[in-house]
Amino acid sequence: MIPDPTIYLAVCVGLFLLGLFAGRFLNRAILRIPQHFDVAPAWKSVFANEKRLGKYPQTRWYYCLPVIGTASMTGRSPYSGRRILAREPWLELLNGCLFVMAFVCTIPPELWGAMQADCLRTPLWAGEIYRWNTVSNLFLWSRYFYFLFLVEALFIATFIDFDLWIIPDGVTFPAMVVGFVGQTLGVGYFLAPVWFQDPNLLQSLIPLIPVLEWWPTQNYFPEWIKYHPFLHCFSISAVGFLVGGGIVWAVRIIGGLVLRREAMGFGDVILMAMIGSFVGWQAVVVAFFLAPVIALIIFVVMLVVNLFSKQEFTWAMPYGPYLSLATIIVLFCWKYFWPAIDRIFMPGPLLLVFAFAMLIMLAFSLFVIQGLKWLVGIDPWPGDDLTWRSADQLHHYSGETVDPNHGSWKRSSWPGTESGRGQLNEHRWRNDCQ
C-alpha cells in the first residue's frame, strides 16, 4: 500500500516537469555532440552558451520554458538564429513521460516509503544470494537515477542515429563509465545474477556429455557470488559489456563476410556494450532479440502507410533506435519478462554451445538468402562503389558543417560571392560587418 498516494502523485508530477527541462538540454545535446569526434569537446560544446544574435536579441520570458517556449521559437531561435526543429517540443514531452515511467517502474507504489525488501527480489533468485531487512530511500533513488541515466543516453543516441546514421562516442563512452561504476557500487541493483544454472539438468546430462563433470560448479550459483558482492556486481557489468558488444560484433563480422558489405555499424557494437554494462548479459541478449521484432513491426507499418500515400519508400533504416527501444521495454517490463524466460538461461554451460550453433545458423541463413537472390536474377553482391559506410556518413556530415570562414582573417570583401550562396547575413554576423 502507498503511505500517501498524494505524495506519490506529486513526485510523479515534479519528475515530469523536471523531465521537460531535461528534454530541452537533450535537444541541445542531440544537435551538438555529433559536431565533435572526441568526447570532451563534444560535451564542452553542449554546456557552452549559444552565441547571441546581435547585442539586443528579441526575447520573451516564456522562451526559457520547455515545450511552450520551444514551440514558440520553432523555425528560428531569436537568441542565436539556429534552426529550431518542429520535433523538439515533442521530444521534451516524451522525455517528461520517460522520467515518470522510469520512476513508476523502478520505484513502484509498493516500494514507496522504503518498504520491506521482499518486494525487490525476483522470483528466481530471491533469498539465494543476499538478504536485506529494509531498503533505504537513498538506495531506491540511486537506482532510479542510475537507470534513468541509461534511458537518457539511449534517448540522445536514438535521435542522433535517426538524423545522421551515427552513434557518437560522446554518448556511449560516458554512459559506459557510469554503468560500470554504478553497478560495481551496487546502485544498479542487477536484474539477474551473472551466472546460474539448473543443477538437476546438469547432473542428468553428465552421462550423455561426460565432459560436463569437469564444469567448475555443480550448484545453482557459483560459491564466490555469495561472499563477494562487489566483485559480483562488477562482473555483471563486465560480462554484460562483453556479451552485448560481442554479439553485435559477431553479427557484424558474419554479415560482412557473407554479404560483402557492412551489416551493422560499429556504433551499434559500442551501444550494445554500453547497454550491457548497465543491465547485464541476460537482459542485453533479450533486448538484442527483441529489437528486430520491433523493427519489423515498424517497417511493415511504414510500408503500408507509404503504399497508401504513394510516397517513395526507403528500405534502409538505422538500427540503433530499435536497439534502444528494445532496451527500454526490457528495462521497464523486466518483472514481467523474467518469470517467462528464466528457464532459457538455466542450461548452464550448454548456453555456450547454443550460442555457437546460432552463429552457424546465422551464417547459413545469410548464404541461403544470397543464393535465393542469385536464383531470381538479383545480384547478391553489388559493386562496392555503391556501398555507403559509416566512415562515408561521417565524412559527408563533416563536409556539411564546414565553416567557410575557419582559419581566415577578418576582412571586408565583395559581398556578391556570399550573396549568391545565400550566406551574406551569416558572413556579416561572423565578421561583425556593419
Please, which pLDDT band fits residue 125 given cuts at 50, 70 and 90? Answer: very low
| 361 C-beta neighbours (distance < 10 Å), count | 10
Backbone φ and ψ of 95, nearest 5°: -70, -35
- 94 and 161 fall within a common domain: no
Give the residue-averaged pLDDT of 62-69. Answer: 83
Domain stop point among 113, 148, 164: 113
Instruction: Confirm whether 231 is domain-assigned.
Output: yes
127 pLDDT tier (thresholds 50, 70, 90): very low
Strands (E), 283-340: none
Q: What is the pLDDT of residues 316-373, one digit of tens each?
A: 678 889 999 999 999 988 888 888 888 888 888 888 888 899 889 988 888 888 888 7
DSSP letter (8 states) at residue 213? G
Task: Note the pLDDT of residue 178.
Answer: 94
164 and 296 both lie in a single domain:
yes
- Nine cell digits for residue 35: 559536431
Among the candidates 97, 113, 129, a domain finishes at 113
Q: Indicate if the pLDDT at residue 177 is higher than 90.
A: yes
- What is the rounded distance in angstroms from the CA atom of residue 64 to the CA atom of residue 57? 14
Q: How confident is the model at residue 427 (pLDDT cuts 50, 70, 90)?
A: low
**125 found inside a domain:** no
Is the same domain home to 41 and 84?
yes
Could you please report the per-residue DSSP string of 358-387? HHHHHHHHHHHHHHHHHHTT--SS--GGG-
Within-domain flag for 21: yes
* Radius of gyration for the alpha carbons in the chain, expressed in angstroms and rounded: 26
Instruction: Find the helix or strand (DSSP H, E) in which 329 lies.
Output: helix 320-332
In this structure, the answer to whether residues 189 and 257 fall within a common structural domain is: yes
Burial tier of 167 (Cβ tally within 10 Å: 0-12, 13-18, 19+): buried
Structural domain contains residue 320: yes
Same domain, 349 and 229: yes
Claim to verify: residue 385 and residue 308 sit in the same structural domain: yes
Q: Higher model confidence: residue 107 or residue 11? A: 11
Does residue 428 lie in a domain region? no
For residue 157, give the C-alpha cell.
543516441
> What is the average pLDDT value for the chain, to the nearest integer?
79
Q: What is the pLDDT of residues 98-121, one digit of tens each?
A: 999 999 988 877 776 544 333 333
Q: CA 248, CA 292: separation in Å to the nearest integer?
A: 12
pLDDT digits (tens, 9 = 90+) for 140-176: 788 899 999 999 999 999 999 988 888 999 999 999 9
- Residue 273 sits in the same domain as residue 316: yes
CB-count exposure of residue 247 (10 Å: 0-12, 13-18, 19+) = buried
Kindly state whether residues 102 and 212 are assigned to the same domain: no
Residue 134 main-chain phi, psi, to 5 deg:
-140, 160
The verdict on 318 and 222 lying in the same domain is: yes
Set of cell numbers at residue 185: 557500487
pLDDT of residue 58 exceeding 70 = no
Domain-embedded: residue 152: yes
Per-residue pLDDT, 317: 75
Give the three cell numbers for residue 370.
544470397
Share of the chain above pLDDT 90, in %: 28
Q: Are 199 and 277 found together in one domain?
A: yes
What pLDDT does residue 57 have? 59
Shared domain for 1 and 78, answered yes or no, is yes
Any domain includes 65: yes
pLDDT band at 209 (very low <50, low <70, confident <90, very high): confident
Residue 413: inside a domain? no
Q: pLDDT tens-digit profile of 246-287?
A: 999 998 898 888 877 777 778 889 999 999 999 999 999 999
Handedness of CA 174, 175, 179, 185 (dihedral sign): positive
Q: How far apart are the C-alpha atoms of 155 and 98, rounded to whole Å?
A: 10
Domain count, the chain: 2
Question: What's the pLDDT at 135?
Answer: 55
Strand partners, 134: 116
- AA letter at 386: L
In 3D space, the residue among 236, 22, 243, 238 whose CA is nearest the CA of residue 145 turns out to be 22
Q: Which of 6-20, 167-181, 209-223 has the lowest mean pLDDT?
A: 209-223
Per-residue pLDDT for 130 more than 50? no
Looking at the DSSP bridge assignments, the partners of residue 116 are 134
Query: Which of these ranges, 32-41, 150-159, 247-256, 376-385, has the smallest mean pLDDT?
Result: 376-385
Using CA atoms, how far apart are residues 237 and 240, in angstroms rounded to an integer? 5
pLDDT band at 24 (very low <50, low <70, confident <90, very high): very high
What is the rounded distance in angstroms from the CA atom of residue 27 to the CA atom of residue 426?
23
More confident residue, 434 or 341: 341
pTM, two decimals, is 0.80
Looking at the structure, tell me whether residues 108 and 161 fall in a common domain: no
Mean pLDDT, rounded, for 28-49: 89
Per the structure, the complete domain to which residue 249 belongs is given by 139-400
